[in-house]
Amino acid sequence: MAEWVKVAQSDQVSEGQVRVVEAHGQRLALSRIGGELFAVQDLCTHDNGPLGEGTLFDDLIECPRHGARFSVRTGQAVTLPAVVPVKTYPVKVTGNEIFVQI
């Protein structure tokens, strides 16, 4: 059964930035775009690269290894060499705390 896990404080994730967090042993790349928070697995589906070390371009996160880009909204792979989407996770904010559903 899925549960909400606290992963960060709201002020720890700046606009346009990526922060790596952990929830139940899973590493996630947490980002804020247009005031909205998004969480995707911190693992490129092309070669298991660390997406959380990547760069955001609008709502796309780019893997630092080979440049594959994924939508943080949907997880969809939008550029080669990746073709398989990354897993996304629901995010909510309660007060100043950020929770991700795992």
Provide the whole-model pTM.
0.94
Domain edges within the chain = 4-101
CB proximity list for 95: less than 8 A, separation 6 or greater: none
Homologous superfamily of 4-101: Rieske [2Fe-2S] iron-sulphur domain (2.102.10.10)
43, two tokens: 């693992």
pLDDT at residue 1 is higher than 90: no
Whether 69 and 78 have beta carbons less than 8 Å apart is answered as yes
Residues 6-48: pLDDT tens digits? 999 999 999 999 999 999 999 999 999 999 999 999 999 999 9
